[in-house]
Amino acid sequence: MKAIGYKQPQAISHPEALVDIQLPVPEARGRDLLVKVKAVSVNPVDTKVRLRAEAEPGQYKVLGWDVAGEVVAVGEAATEFQVGDKVWYAGDITRPGGNAEFHLVDERIVGRQPANLADAEAAAVPLTAITAWELLFERLKFKPSSPQQQGSAANSVQQDSSVKRQLLIVGAAGGVGSILTQLASKLTDATVIGTASRATTQRWVKDLGADYVIDHSKPLTEELKRIGIDSVTDVISLTHTDQHFDQLVEALAPQGQLALIDDPVEALDIMKLKLKSLSLHWEMMFTRAMFTTDDIHKQGELLNEVAALIEQGVLKTTLGEHYGAINAENLKRAHAHIETGTAIGKVVLEGFE
């Protein structure tokens, strides 16, 4: 089968950073599904792994943790899907990725693809949707409205509290931010403040449902005061957390919560959280798959919930740019784009030539 991989970590400009290769078609066993890959998207994690992780001796490392495709075989213990089912998922970072014609994945972290999305539109969503959902509803304990409440999601009750929560999303125009902004604005009654530094990204975040958009290239506390907000109850920082950390601590109300997903270059001084009794939450969407947790199946359930919300028109795909067929040349272009930090939404590739 066709695939794209590499042997040694390289800058994306290196000729062998990503190369077209041929690999055997894997066989589905146990609870695995064999999926014919129709479309993939590229995430920052792809670029980070490419720069850090070597392939096993004599092997190629295949990246790609966002797939929309069709089940072509099932393992003997698989019960949730059948051949012909259209599925979407983010996969497991400890296993080969989806930049290949055929891909193995544990059925418990797989969801059904939304019926109203094309393959490329669907591939843009899984990893970021899982990350955003877990951040919002599992780490920070916002309560999503039930399916019966979707028509009036903005009126849903999050907690047994009369205090309205204010959520600041740092980096709201990126992949995770694009779906997180929608989830927060459609499924909670929080005031949603997104950050973006360019006119195009600010419009994007506003269109996704943010109540306010502020500029993270300026002091965040000053930007919040500009829109009449003195402090926020919750912060989800998706990028450059170390650069904004002091401002985030200042912006958070006492007993507030800070959640993040990035890898700060500078160590965070968590003692700064103590005076306000602030809590810190890390999110790693691969945790359930990496450790085969008792609740690993919740990722499949989560993706099915997101699919239903998309079919109901509550959420929409976050596809930003389509880079053409799945091959080394186009993936190198996509990685280079992601590494600039200027991508809006998700970068997607579709089909093998």
Nearest to 69 by CA among 350, 327, 310: 350
Residue by residue, DSSP assigns 40-51 as EEE-HHHHHHHH
Q: Does the structure show a pLDDT above 50 at 294?
A: yes
CB 113 within 8 Å of CB 307: yes
What is the Cα–Cα distance from 36 to 28, expressed in whole angstroms? 12
Side-chain half-sphere CA neighbours of 300 within 13 A: 15
What is the Cα–Cα distance from 294 to 82, expressed in whole angstroms? 24
**pTM exceeds cut of 0.85:** yes
Kindly give, in sequence order, each residue whose CB lies less than 8 Å from that of residue 151, ignoring residues fewer than 6 positions away.
none
What is the Cα–Cα distance from 185 to 314, expressed in whole angstroms? 10
pLDDT-derived band at 252, boundaries 50, 70, 90: very high
Nearest to 345 by CA among 97, 103, 124: 124
Using CA of residue 102, residue 108, residue 114, residue 117, what is the dihedral sign?
A: negative
User: What pLDDT score was predicted for residue 142?
Assistant: 96
User: What pLDDT score was predicted for residue 21?
Assistant: 98
Question: What are the residues facing 20 on neighbouring strands?
Answer: 4
User: What pLDDT score was predicted for residue 162?
Assistant: 54
Residue by residue, DSSP assigns 159-201 as SS-SSPPEEEEETTTSHHHHHHHHHHHHH--SEEEEE-SSHHH
What is the Cα–Cα distance from 259 to 135, expressed in whole angstroms? 7
Report the percent of the chain where pLDDT is more than 70.
95
Q: Does the structure show a pLDDT above 90 at 283?
A: yes
Least confident of 8-22, 35-49, 158-172, 323-337: 158-172
Q: Does the structure show a pLDDT above 90 at 244?
A: yes
Rg of the Cα atoms in the chain: 20
Q: Does the structure show a pLDDT above 60 at 62?
A: yes
**Residue 219: exposed, middle, or buried by beta-carbon count in 10 A (0-12, 13-18, 19+)?**
middle
Question: What are the residues facing 41 on neighbouring strands?
Answer: 348
Q: Does the structure show a pLDDT above 70 at 55?
A: yes
pLDDT-derived band at 158, boundaries 50, 70, 90: very low
User: What pLDDT score was predicted for residue 155?
Assistant: 38
User: What pLDDT score was predicted for residue 173?
Assistant: 93
Nearest to 39 by CA among 125, 138, 115: 125
- 3-class secondary-structure state, position 27: coil
Q: Does the structure show a pLDDT above 60 at 149?
A: no
Residue with tokens 């089909």: 351
User: What pLDDT score was predicted for residue 146?
Assistant: 53
- 3-class secondary-structure state, position 132: helix
User: What pLDDT score was predicted for residue 288?
Assistant: 97
pLDDT-derived band at 223, boundaries 50, 70, 90: very high
Kindly give, in sequence order, each residue whose CB lies less than 8 Å from that of residue 152, ignoring residues fewer than 6 positions away.
145
Instruction: Look over the chain and give the mean of its residue pLDDT values, rounded to a whole number.
Output: 93
User: What pLDDT score was predicted for residue 353?
Assistant: 80
CB 26 within 8 Å of CB 6: no
Helix (H) or strand (E) holding 204: helix 199-207
Helix (H) or strand (E) holding 257: strand 252-260
Cα–chain-centroid distance for residue 42? 10
Q: Quote the DSSP letter at residue 264.
A: -
User: What pLDDT score was predicted for residue 240?
Assistant: 93
- Largest Cα separation within the chain, whole Å, is 60
Structure tokens at 16: 């062998």
Q: Does the structure show a pLDDT above 80 at 156?
A: no
Question: What are the residues facing 19 on neighbouring strands?
Answer: 5
194-216 tens-digit pLDDT:
999 999 999 999 999 999 999 99
Structural domains for the chain: 2-125+287-350 (3.90.180.10), 130-282 (3.40.50.720)
63-100 tens-digit pLDDT:
999 999 999 999 999 999 999 999 999 999 999 999 99
Q: Does the structure show a pLDDT above 80 at 116?
A: yes
Residue scoring higher pLDDT (153 or 343)? 343
Nearest to 66 by CA among 132, 120, 26, 143: 120
